[in-house]
Amino acid sequence: MVITRTTPAPLWKPAEEPGEAAAARSFSLAAALAAHQAWLDGRPDGAPLRLRRLTLSGRKASGAKLAKASLQYVSWLEADLAEADLSEAVLEEVDLRRAALSGAEAAEMRRWWDELVIDFFDNAPFLKEHSMRRYEIYSTEPRFDIRTVGFDG
């Protein structure tokens, strides 16, 4: 059985580590996006986009190809991400408040708050009752989306 739970993302941001502010000032978003595009195209000079603990507020990246990127603790307030491709991107604690996202593609984007639990149902005499009880408990949570494979519940 597969269980997913969706909860809203908190607005918590970890404290800035020493040297992060200087690193953010010297960071070239254009160069990182170009390297990521090369990686998406399968070129040897490419590198996947892995952003962590950056403030990119107000930066323009309209039409950016961010597919399969990993963004962790990124603040992108009031950014221009119109027409950006975020398909299959992984976002963890990303703040996009007041960002322009018109026309942005977000198919199969994974957020950190999409949780997944995989459990099993054991038909053995001594585990069957326990398996059914777990299933019943999972079923009481209204935000769980329970899917079963090979088991009718």
Number of domains in the chain: 2
Are 140 and 72 contained in the same domain?
Answer: no
Environment class of 102 (CB within 10 Å of its CB; exposed 0-12, middle 13-18, buried 19+): exposed
* Per-residue pLDDT reduced to its tens digit, 52-92: 998 888 888 899 999 999 988 888 888 888 899 988 888 88
Establish if 10 belongs to a structural domain. no
Are 108 and 40 contained in the same domain?
Answer: yes
Establish if 9 belongs to a structural domain. no
Q: What residues have CB less than 8 Å from 145, skipping those under 6 apart?
A: 3, 4, 5
Establish if 90 belongs to a structural domain. yes
pTM over 0.75: no
* Per-residue pLDDT reduced to its tens digit, 100-128: 888 888 766 665 445 566 677 777 887 88
Are 82 and 124 contained in the same domain?
Answer: no
Quote the domain boundaries for residue 141: 119-147
Q: How many angstroms separate the CA atoms of 22 and 18, rounded? A: 9
